[in-house]
Structure 1
Amino acid sequence: MSKTKERTTAPAPHAVPQQTQTVGPVAPPRVSARRRRPGVIALSLALIGAGGVGGAVLLLQVSDRTDLVTVARDVQVGQVLTEQDLGKASVALDPAVKAVRADDVDSVVGKRAAVELKPGSLLAPAQVTRDSLVKAGEQLVPIGLKPEQVPATALVPGQKVQLVHVPAQRAADPGKESGADGPQSIAGRVVKVSKAAPGAGVVVVDVATTADDGPTVAAWLSADALRLVLDAPENN
C-alpha cells in the first residue's frame, strides 16, 4: 500500500487572525458647553432696551403731529382764497408758530390774502382777511416805477407812502398848486407790488388813495411828474 502524505498548511508567520466585527450605535461627539459671558448678555439687554426707548420716542413724535393748512399754489394779494388754493400737511408744530389747523380750513376759504402766498408754506391766520384791501371811500391807482425809482427797501402791502408831485420846470401843476413850503404830496398805502417787467425792469405798485386825491394822482402820472416816497417806519 502506498502511503499518502498529508499536506498541512502552516500558518504564515505574520498573519493576523481574523476578528469578528460587531456593528453598534455610534456615540455623538462630545461638545463642551460654551462659557457664558455676563458682560455680553448685559450689553445685549441694554441695546434691546435702547431700541425700545427709541421706538417710543419716535411714536410720541409721530403722535404729536398736527394737520395744518398749507398753500398749494401762488395767491396774489387781495385774491379770494378757494379750496384749490389750499392743501394739508401733518407737521410737528412748535407752539410758538401760529398756523391754521386743517379742521378750520372752512374759516379761511372765501377770505382775501393779506399778503402774497407762496406754495408749500403754512397758512397763518394773519395772512388772510375779510376786509377788502381798498377801503370804502378809496381809489386804487397803479403807479409804474422805473428801475431807478424803485426803493431799495422792499415794498410790501400795507406800507404807507407819499406820492410827491415833481413838475418839470415851468410846467403847470395839473392838480392843486404847490405851496411855498415845498412840493405837494398825497398820502397813500401800498396794496400790491408786481415783479419787475422783463427787459424794462418797470415795477407796478397799486396804491390806495382817497377818492378825492385819485384824479390828482392820475394827472401827475400822465405828466410824468410823480415820485413815490416811503414813510418813515415810525409813521406806519
Structure 2
Amino acid sequence: MSSTTRSVSQHSAAAAAPTTPAGPSTGPVAAPRMVRQRRRRPGLIALSVALIAAGGLSGAVLYSSSGHRTAVVVVARDVPVGSRITEADLATASIALDPAVQSVNASRTRALVGQRAASDLKAGSLLAPSQVTDRSLIGPGEQLVGVSVKPSQLPATPLVPGEKVLIVSTPDPNAAPGRSATNGAGAESGTSPVTLSAKVVAVGRPAAATGAVVVDVAVPATDGPALAAQTATGNVALVVVARDGS
C-alpha cells in the first residue's frame, strides 16, 4: 500500500513540473555593442565650409565676367585709308570683350568724327585705336600719285599704308642707245638707277586680267608730275625700304 502511494506521489510531482520546449538550449544573451561615436573636428568642418564658399564665389565671378558686355565702336561702312571719318561711318555694339582685344569705347564715338582712317576700314569690323589718326597720310607739300606696277615689279610681301618705298625708274627697252633716263627733277641719271622716295598711302586690288596693282604714293610736289609721266610708260618698280630705315 505504501509503495502504491509513493508511485502516485511521484507521478503527480512529475505531472506538476513545468515543461520546457524541446530544442537546443540557448546561452545568456549578450548586451548590445555600443557604437562609438566619431570625434568631431571643428577645424576640418570650418575648412570644408570655407572651400565650398570659395568655389561658389569663383563660379559666380566667372559667370558674371563671361556675361559682362562692353559698348564699343564698330565700322558701319567701308572707309578708304586716308579718308576723313564721318558719323555715318561708325556704329556701336555691345559685346563680351576679351581684355586682350584692342577696341575703342563707345563713349569716344564723337571724338573720332573728323579724324582719318590710318588703314582701310571694313564694314562690320571692330575699330582699333591704331586704325585712326588725326594726321593725313599726305603731308604738306606732297602730292598723291598712282603708280601702276605688274606683279614682277613688286615685292612678294604685301604693301601697307604708311610704308616707305623707293620708286625705281627701269630702263626703257625702246629707248635709243646711249640715252639715259631722267629723274623727277629732270637731271640725267648716269649709270645708277634713278630712285625716288615715296610713302604708300593705299594699295588697290590686282587687276583680274593682268594682275597689275595701282599703288597710291605720296611724293614731294616737285616730283609728282615727273613721276606721273614715268609711271605712264610702265618703266617703274617699287622697292620696300627697311622698316628701321629713314
Letter in 2 for 1:120: G
Aligned to 1:93: 97
Which of 111, 119, 124 pairs up with 2:123? 119
Q: Find the residue that maps to 1:105 and give its secondary structure.
A: helix
Q: Structure 1 regions of 5+ residues with no counterpart?
A: 1-49
Aligned to 2:6: none
Aligned to 1:31: none
Aligned to 1:218: 228
RMSD between aligned residues: 2.5
**Matches of 2:77 and 2:118 in 1, distance apart?**
15
Q: Find the residue that maps to 2:97 and give its secondary structure.
A: coil
Aligned to 1:173: 181
**Matches of 2:126 and 2:89 in 1, distance apart?**
12
**Matches of 1:159 and 1:87 in 2, distance apart?**
29
TM-score by length of 2: 0.68
**Matches of 2:222 and 2:181 in 1, distance apart?**
17
**Matches of 2:242 and 2:56 in 1, distance apart?**
58
**Matches of 1:197 and 1:223 in 2, distance apart?**
18
**Matches of 1:100 and 1:155 in 2, distance apart?**
26
Greater fraction of residues in helix = 2
Deviating beyond 4 angstroms after TM superposition, the runs of 4 or more aligned structure 1 residues are: 50-56
Please show how residues 132-211 of structure 1 align to structure 2 within 5 Å. 132-168=136-172, 170=177, 171-174=179-182, 175-180=186-191, 182-211=192-221
Q: Find the residue that maps to 1:235 and give its secondary structure.
A: coil
CA contact (8 A) 2:180 2:189 kept: no
CA contact (8 A) 2:151 2:212 kept: yes
Letter in 1 for 2:146: P
Which entry has the higher C-alpha Rg, 1 or 2? Answer: 2
Aligned to 1:34: none
Which of 72, 75, 80 pairs up with 1:71? 75
**Matches of 2:126 and 2:236 in 1, distance apart?**
38
Q: Structure 2 regions of 5+ residues with no counterpart?
A: 1-54
**Matches of 2:61 and 2:164 in 1, distance apart?**
52
How many residues align structurally?
187
Identity %: 48
Shift of 1:53: 7.1
